[in-house]
């Protein structure tokens, strides 16, 4: 069985990774449409080494007869076109923040809550925020065994989380710094080259940022509404790969050895923790990889049952494209797309 797949936002950082992921995983594609704004309609993107596709304008695209829409055109654009696609019978898997917290939209990480897909009502499924995805993949096996009470997380997020323009800004500011050219911030609020910015997305009334708020509410929706979480989200001058320093407090006793064993068995997790020079994963190491890596696992002696860990993953891959494609694969495995395909 194969499917007609539309990739929306195909010229962007996530969209390009989406095409790469579909190809690498041999997703059963019968026909592929690549869509973006009128600005890039008519340009070409490649799918694998042999196929070059012409970008079509989302505004005029008819979704009737298309099985799956993998969306990453930004929240305001998804708000208009995802419901239009769903009404035409195309199942939308949306990477933007637009629908994540709507009660009738499943928010899914296949290793964590695949059962939520059964609650699909509006033909839209939401992909969580990139920082949330890698955190819940690592927390899930620990929550199942030791029950999490509280999480304190600080993120170190790469510029690709702000799309292709974020990557261009780090590149141009880095180059400019070598010729003493003043680096004017445009995408980010301050200079990102050789700097760290404790501000991602807009400020909320309580002084937190929306990125921090997303990590809290999305984790509760996916994993457990009773978990207490506080996040500090920081943009760092790294092109791809988000890192997170996470402190977790549990209800039940936990040893490092037990936690390591639970993480080793967990789907999507790779433990690399050698307690020696270089014996941990950094963002550069995880680029192009599917796993969520856990390193620096150790006891947090400041609480009764606590652990600290360092969690790293490719934000464009597990944080976006891979998770979306895995949702599509899970829909197929659960028979939710079977009726419509050829």
User: Is the separation of the CB atoms in 134 and 219 below 8 Å?
Assistant: no
Q: In whole angstroms, how close is the CB of 230 to ligand NAP at the nearest point?
A: 22
Interface with ligand NAP, residue 75, by CB under 6 A? yes
Single out the segment in contact with ligand NAP by CB under 6 A; choices: 19-27, 74-82, 257-265, 278-286. 74-82
Asked if residue 147 lies in contact with residue 253, where contact means CB atoms within 8 angstroms, the answer is: no
b (16+ CB within 10 A) / e for 143-162:
beebebbebbbebbbbbbbb
> Judged by CB under 6 A, how many residues of this single chain contact ligand NAP?
29
Least separation in angstroms between residue 259's CB and ligand NAP is 27
Long-range (24+ apart) CB contacts under 8 A made by 56-63 are 58/8, 61/6, 61/33, 61/35, 62/88, 63/6, 63/88, 63/89, 63/90
Spatial separation of the C-alpha atoms in residues 2 and 5, rounded to whole Å: 9
CA distance 190 to 173: 11
- Residues 104-143 contacting ligand NAP, CB under 6 A: 130
Tell me if residue 242 is catalytic.
Answer: yes
Q: Please state the closest distance from residue 80 (CB atom) to ligand NAP, in A.
A: 8
Stretch that binds ligand NAP, among 37-45, 84-92, 211-219, 246-254 (CB under 6 A): 37-45
Applying CB under 6 A, which part among 155-163, 272-280, 290-298, 332-340 lies near ligand NAP? 155-163
Exactly one of 4, 5, 21, 72 binds ligand NAP (CB under 6 A); that residue is 72
* Choice among 90, 242, 286, 305 that is catalytic: 242
319 in contact with ligand NAP (CB under 6 A)? yes
Does the protein bind ligand NAP through residue 37 (CB under 6 A)?
Answer: yes
Nearest alpha carbon to residue 38 among 60, 20, 18, 70 = 60
Cβ neighbours of 311 (radius 10 Å): 26
Report, in Å, the least distance between residue 36 CB and ligand NAP. Answer: 3
Alpha-carbon distance of 286 to 283, in angstroms, equals 5
DSSP 55: -
Looking at the annotation, which residues are catalytic? 130, 242
Question: Which residues contact ligand NAP by CB under 6 A?
Answer: 9-15, 36-37, 39-40, 58, 72-75, 77, 95-96, 130, 160-161, 163-165, 315-316, 319-320
């Amino acid at each position: 069985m194969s499917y007609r797949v539309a990739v929306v936002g195909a010229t962007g950082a996530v969209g390009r990774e989406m095409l790469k992921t579909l190809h690498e995983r041999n997703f059963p594609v019968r026909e592929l449409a690549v869509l973006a704004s009128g600005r890039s309609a008519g340009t070409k993107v490649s799918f694998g080494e042999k196929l070059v596709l012409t970008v079509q304008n989302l505004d005029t695209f008819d979704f009737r007869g298309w099985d799956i829409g993998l969306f990453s055109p930004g929240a305001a654009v998804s708000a208009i076109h995802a419901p239009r696609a769903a009404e035409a019978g195309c199942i939308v898997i949306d990477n933007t923040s637009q629908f994540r917290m709507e009660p009738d939209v499943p928010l899914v990480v296949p290793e964590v809550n695949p059962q939520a897909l059964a609650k699909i009502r509006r033909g839209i499924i939401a992909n969580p925020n990139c920082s949330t995805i890698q955190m819940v993949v690592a927390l899930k096996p620990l929550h199942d065994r030791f029950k999490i009470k509280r999480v304190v997380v600080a993120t170190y997020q790469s510029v690709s989380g702000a799309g292709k323009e974020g990557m261009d800004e780090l590149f141009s500011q880095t180059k400019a710094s070598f010729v003493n050219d003043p680096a004017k911030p445009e995408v980010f609020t301050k200079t990102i080259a050789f700097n760290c910015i404790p501000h991602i997305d807009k400020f909320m009334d309580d002084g937190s940022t929306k990125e921090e708020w997303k990590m809290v509410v999305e984790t509760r929706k996916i994993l457990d509404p009773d978990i207490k979480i506080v996040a500090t989200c920081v943009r760092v001058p790294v092109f791809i790969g988000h890192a997170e320093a996470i402190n977790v407090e549990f209800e039940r006793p936990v040893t490092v050895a037990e936690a390591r064993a639970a993480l080793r068995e967990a789907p999507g997790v790779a433990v690399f923790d050698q307690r020696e020079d270089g014996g941990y994963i950094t963002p550069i190491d995880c680029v192009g990889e599917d796993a969520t890596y856990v390193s620096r696992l150790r006891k947090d002696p400041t609480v009764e049952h606590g652990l600290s860990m360092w969690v790293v993953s490719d934000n464009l891959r597990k944080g976006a494209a891979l998770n979306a494609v895995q949702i599509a694969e899970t829909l197929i495995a659960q028979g939710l797309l079977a009726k419509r395909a050829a």
